[in-house]
Amino acid sequence: MTDAALQRLTARLQSIYAELPDVDCGAVAAQILRLMTAFQEQRSQPVADSERWSQQDIILITYGNSIQNGADVPLQTLAQFLRQHLLDTINAVHLLPFFPYSSDDGFSVIDYRQVNPDWGDWGDIATLARDFDLMMDLVINHCSRENLWFIDFISNREPYTEYFIEVDPGQDVSLVTRPRNTPLLTPVHTHRGRRHVWATFSEDQVDLNFANPLVLLEFIQIFLFYIEQGARFIRLDAIAFLWKKLGTRCLHLPQTHEVVKLLRDVVDLCAPDVIIITETNVPVAENLSYFGRSDEAHMVYQFGLPPLVLHALNRGNADFLTRWAADIPALPKGCTYLNFTASHDGIGVRPVEQILPEREVQDLIDCMHRFGGFVSTKANQDGSESPYEINISLFDACMGTRRGVDHFQVPRFLCAQSMMLSMQGIPAVYLHSLTATPNDIAHVEQTGRTRSINRKLWQLDELEYLLSNPVTPQAEVFNELRRLIQIRRRQPAFHPNACQSVIHINSDVFILQRQCQQQQLFAIANVTERILTLPLAALGFLPSGLVDLIAPQGEAVTEQLKLAPYQVVWLTDAVF
């Protein structure tokens, strides 16, 4: 490591701690540099920067215990299932938090450096990493009340007395942005008496104090440790809330952005093949701010995509989705999006603020209630509550439209997945989307948490039976999604860097044009339950002689384009 690296880290730390003059930024930078040097000495040469991503990149999102067989630990069962069914389909796995935890299905971490012993061990993680690239979560904003750091805080042991944020309960915290409807401050009995600590998400998830550079150093060590264990992607969970300053929203503060940039500095200097992704379930402009000037996150979640795709299919109208997609800014150099339609969390409605009218959002929520879903709320500054996310299995969210349940659930759901796979960026497919998992109401009743509706724990024999029976929706969706993904991975026009433009002809269809030097491709989705017949003469943007990649025989489109309800076509001038 060079003097230039030390100067770069010092300058970044000075930006973070500009309002805390007692912090010796040079000394902290020197400690970070020592950590990086030791890390680099143990690591083989990374791949070239130009190979960061390609159309081959498909990420599967899953918990480590989502598939169980009762004999092996879940991580071994998961690895067995993925090797057997998905080696030719995905190349990366987002393994949701697999650490010992006390709540929130892993996002209340007790020990950041251990694997949950009920699920497996680091050897099982290494086994997965041999076959797949890994995305790991850095749960950076908060930890569990059962974490030893917090136990030492309660016991008044240094240095942990400064690891958490104490606030006088009489202090005005009304400006603080709340993603939940629980109190911001939670009481705790310590050896120094009763204290109130900052807890953004729940009383069991206590926020960490990044104004203390020892906390920052702790997490840089953990960050590098995860890369040592095989992480190609590091997801910064709930990063937007990281820095606290009373009198502000405590959301997206400049110091938070500077911490992300510091982590980017670290990987640029010693692990340039690693990709940082920020998890910020907020309106579009706020979300995109985490690209910085190509010096912050490499990837951000396309949080507007899930609610807008669902709205288009539920409404039979693609206008809002088309308008949003057309307004997506050009990607900064070296950056891309992570596209998804479902994940372990619900379908956020905050990202469509100022995009969907409130009446449209409420109508969608009402419909999801009828399809067995729930809605989680957040607290507002005026004491009221408003919708934050819809909790429902995406497969069951597609069981009908606002007119009610119908027989188009499977094609409607596959339409949602195909549109997501067409978007510029890297696709991430939730395990429960791949397996067409329905609402798990029994799991909600067991845990008391509405998010459990979309976090089913499959028994391997049950899942294998359903996938082996061609008449089940699970087999139909699983096999067709695998086929679509395998087609997609061969097309240069689906490279994350390939250009994207949006074409609007009417509200019935959502149309993307993807283009690179080798290939031009048009992704056209019918978002209605009607058969559409579109004469090519009326589609002046379509050149003649295009072939539909999705059609079983690679059919050429000649005089007209006929689309069945919810059908998607990928029309191209070059087949790969």
- Active-site annotation, residues: 237
- Determine the Cα–Cα distance for residues 77 and 447; give it in Å rounded to an integer: 23
* Maximal CA-CA distance, the chain: 80
142 labeled part of a ligand binding site: yes
Half-sphere exposure of 476 (CA within 13 A, CB side): 11
Contacting residues for 16 by C-beta, under 8 A, at least 6 apart:
216, 255, 258, 259, 262
Intra-chain end-to-end CA distance of the chain, in Å: 44
DSSP 332: P
298 labeled part of a ligand binding site: no
Of 518, 519, 431, 514, residue with least CA distance to 478: 431
CB neighbourhood size of 480 (10 A)? 18
235 labeled part of a ligand binding site: yes
504 labeled part of a ligand binding site: no
CB neighbourhood size of 257 (10 A)? 23
- Determine the Cα–Cα distance for residues 216 and 140; give it in Å rounded to an integer: 9
What backbone phi and psi angles, to 5 degrees, belong to 127?
Answer: -60, -45
Strands (E) in 411-471, as ranges, are 426-430, 458-459
The tokens for 275 are 């990709």
Helix (H) or strand (E) holding 395: helix 394-397
Cα distances (Å, whole numbers) of residue 492 to 487, 500, 553: 11, 13, 20
- Determine the Cα–Cα distance for residues 288 and 303; give it in Å rounded to an integer: 10
User: Which 3 state secondary structure label does DSSP give 207?
Assistant: strand
344 labeled part of a ligand binding site: yes
Contacting residues for 354 by C-beta, under 8 A, at least 6 apart:
283
369 labeled part of a ligand binding site: no
Of 414, 425, 451, residue with least CA distance to 527: 414
495 labeled part of a ligand binding site: no
124 labeled part of a ligand binding site: no
Parallel, antiparallel, or unpaired for β 299-301 and 336-339?
parallel
CA dihedral angle for residue 237, residue 239, residue 245, residue 246, rounded to 10 degrees: -50
Annotated binding-site members: 104, 142, 235-237, 344-345, 451
Annotated binding-site members for substrate: 104, 142, 235-237, 344-345, 451
